Amino acid sequence: MSNKSEINRTAVSGKTRMTPSEAFVETLVANDVTDVFGIVGSALMDALDIFPASGIRYIPTVHEQGAAHMADGYARVSGRHGVCMAQNGPGITNFVTAVAAAYWAHTPVVVITPETGTMSMGLGGFQETDQLPIFSKITKFQGHLNNPRRMAEITGRCFDRAMLEMGPAQLNIPRDFFYGDFEFEIPKPIRIERGAGGAQSLDEAAALLAEAKFPVIVSGGGVVMSAGTDACVALADLLGAPVVNSYLHNDSFPANHPLWCGPLGYQGSKAGMKLIAQADVVLALGTRLGPFGTLPQHGMDYWPKDAKIIQVDADPRMLGLVKKISVGINGDAKAAAEALIERLEKKQLTCSANHEQRMAVIRKEKSEWEAELDGWTHERDAWSLEVTKDSPYMHPRQMLRELEKAMPEDAMVSTDIGNICSVANSYLRFNKPNSFFAAMSFGNCGYAFPTIIGAKLAAPDRPAVAYVGDGAWGMSFGEILTCVRENIPVTAVVFHNKQWGAEKKNQVDFYSNRFLGTNLENPSFAAIARSMGAEGMVIDKLDDVGPALRAACEAQKSGKTTIIEVMVTQELGDPFRRDALSNPVRFLDKNKSYV
């Protein structure tokens, strides 16, 4: 056991003789790593053994997928690297789904993948697979250690590139390369400041905004990642421009600000959609305008096709990729917003003339949408009405509204993939950034729970809440053990509707209610949670939802993880995307009735 007084958090400087394991750990220290998620294995043990002397905590998880999701959540809330490390072969392939999710969430996760030793590689011995191709499409950078002498250099580069390119970096280390005795120099981290973008494109953008009659800002993930919320607010105030959140970035603009109009995308804000539909100039700030996030919703094709689009993105490859743009700015969202403010302050703004009218339109659209949400107590399609008729359970929308009202001010919320989690988009509002961690474009069920565990470890004083459907919960509840064993208290709200609802919706809409593989027989999730050492509650009355959430968040302060199993009807909101399926066509006689 390490003695606390022996912990040294300063990496050795200058050329120093050490083992590659030591060089590896010193490079983690140089990058300020304090937590690493994973499951032990012989391949990492030589390095793992000395973690305590450098004050690095290893958080053993139930599954490596959980470990990589935790690293993702940890990084998303803190802006620091999330790190995971596991056994070569199966431990590493278990990372894959979560690394793909981190890739699409633009999260700087460093995935450390010890590999089969160089002297047996290719012989098909034990736990061998070629680990670079597997991650080649889901990482921004892959560092392969081709010589143990390069341990510090390549480890350092992975940390640099994860930050620079804002996504996962893989560090692949043949397991025999942890051993030896060489001179190393621990590299200083390279953190490159991102600028505002080219002066000419900023000038063009400012000119367009100055002439705009109805400018609208789309505030994206880049605003959160650049700590640019205040700059975005200042720019919106200057223009008097309504601001919508890009899909699943509901924490990218304070919901209590008068110009906030809610999220675009699936189950987003009708107010936001109606306002952006009127725009003559759109400033897409820190968003790639992902295709899924701008699809028609609520029967509205709201994207303003004739508007001039100014897009700001830190990744030049995203500029103009999905939507036609008039001006592309390759820059940091915060710096670009500040540079635009500087330019606009010197200009006459056309939109100042109709500022008050625009504010009135914003107020009207927002209050209409709130009233509609208040009245939208349940889904009204034929199937939903049928299944709710005799159900003793809660309507999901009403339950989500109660959760919204009870959510502590400083809460972090993660959401999974499913029908109810998606409907929650209308009810998740945040006043500060780094608060919302949805399963982003990769869209894997099983994301939310481990991700919130990682977030809680990085921000232990903030209430941490995961929204998860019962199907996705089956994939991920094992990590309750990590919460209990490692004392990382969180709250999971499990939407128990006895179905893989989002997929069942497709069978309702396209497959004449033939429910194959979508009905779920579940045990009591609350009882399972209790048997695993957490608290478990079953809630089936609307009045109990808010108090349960508040009590569970309060219990986090005394180290308790709580699973709130909410019993809801089987009604289903709009599907993910109507464009993805078409009505079945069958040629063979035996399939004739399957239409």
Ligand X SMILES: Cc1ncc(C[n+]2csc(CCOP(=O)(O)OP(=O)(O)O)c2C)c(N)n1
Binding stretches for Mg ion (CB under 5 A): 469-471, 497, 499, 501
176 binds, among ligand X, Mg ion, none (CB under 5 to 8 A by kind): none
Q: What is the DSSP string of 6-45?
A: G---S---SSEEE-HHHHHHHHHHHTT--EEEE---GGGH
Choice from 114, 418, 454, 463 touching ligand X (CB under 6 A): 418
Per CB under 6 A, 497 contacts ligand X: yes
Per-residue binding string, ligand X, 498-527, x by CB under 6 A, is -xxxxx------------------------
Q: Which of 572, 471, 571 is nearest to 520 (CA)?
A: 471
Per CB under 6 A, 469 contacts ligand X: yes
Structure tokens at 34: 């304090």
Per CB under 6 A, 470 contacts ligand X: yes
**Residue nearest to ligand X according to CB distances in the complex:** 469
Task: Closer to ligand X by CB, 435 or 570: give it.
Answer: 570
445 binds, among Mg ion, ligand X, none (CB under 5 to 8 A by kind): ligand X
Applying CB under 6 A, the span of 123-131, 133-141, 175-183, 418-426 interacting with ligand X comes to 418-426
CB of 29 to Mg ion, least distance (A): 44
Task: Closer to ligand X by CB, 451 or 497: give it.
Answer: 497
CB of 423 to ligand X, least distance (A): 8
Q: Which of 252, 256, 254, 257 is nearest to 240 (CA)?
A: 257
Q: How far is CA 557 from the centre of its chain?
A: 24
503 binds, among Mg ion, ligand X, none (CB under 5 to 8 A by kind): ligand X
CB of 502 to Mg ion, least distance (A): 8
Task: Closer to ligand X by CB, 445 or 464: give it.
Answer: 445
Choice from 420, 448, 539, 567 touching ligand X (CB under 6 A): 420
CB of 496 to ligand X, least distance (A): 8
Q: Which of 534, 425, 427 is nearest to 488 (CA)?
A: 534
Kindly list the distances between the CA atom of residue 172 and the CA atoms of 87, 153, 283, 560, in Å, as whole numbers in the listed order: 11, 13, 40, 37
Rounded Cα distance between 573 and 423, Å, is 7
Per-residue binding string, ligand X, 277-316, x by CB under 6 A, is ----------------------------------------
Applying CB under 6 A, the span of 133-141, 311-319, 353-361, 463-471 interacting with ligand X comes to 463-471
419 binds, among Mg ion, ligand X, none (CB under 5 to 8 A by kind): ligand X
Number of residues that bind ligand X (CB under 6 A): 19
- How many other β-carbons are positioned within 10 Å of the β-carbon of residue 338? 18
Task: Closer to ligand X by CB, 280 or 381: give it.
Answer: 381
At a CB cut-off of 8 Å and minimum separation 6, what does 433 contact? 223, 224, 227, 229, 251, 252
CA 144-150-156 angle, to 5 degrees, is 75
CB of 495 to Mg ion, least distance (A): 6
Q: Which of 538, 542, 572 is nearest to 406 (CA)?
A: 542
Per CB under 6 A, 495 contacts ligand X: yes
Rounded Cα distance between 33 and 39, Å, is 17
Per-residue binding string, ligand X, 422-461, x by CB under 6 A, is ---------------------xxxx---------------
Task: Closer to ligand X by CB, 142 or 444: give it.
Answer: 444
At a CB cut-off of 8 Å and minimum separation 6, what does 110 contact? 71, 81, 82, 83, 84, 158, 159, 162, 168, 169, 171
Rounded Cα distance between 224 and 106, Å, is 11
573 binds, among Mg ion, ligand X, none (CB under 5 to 8 A by kind): none
DSSP-assigned beta bridge partners for residue 394: 568
Task: Closer to ligand X by CB, 58 or 495: give it.
Answer: 495
Rounded Cα distance between 427 and 569, Å, is 18
Amino acid found at 105? A
Inter-residue contact 393 to 567 (CB < 8 Å): yes
148 binds, among ligand X, Mg ion, none (CB under 5 to 8 A by kind): none
472 binds, among ligand X, Mg ion, none (CB under 5 to 8 A by kind): ligand X
Structure tokens at 16: 């120093």
User: Interface residues with ligand X (CB under 6 A)?
Assistant: 417-420, 443-446, 469-472, 495, 497, 499-503
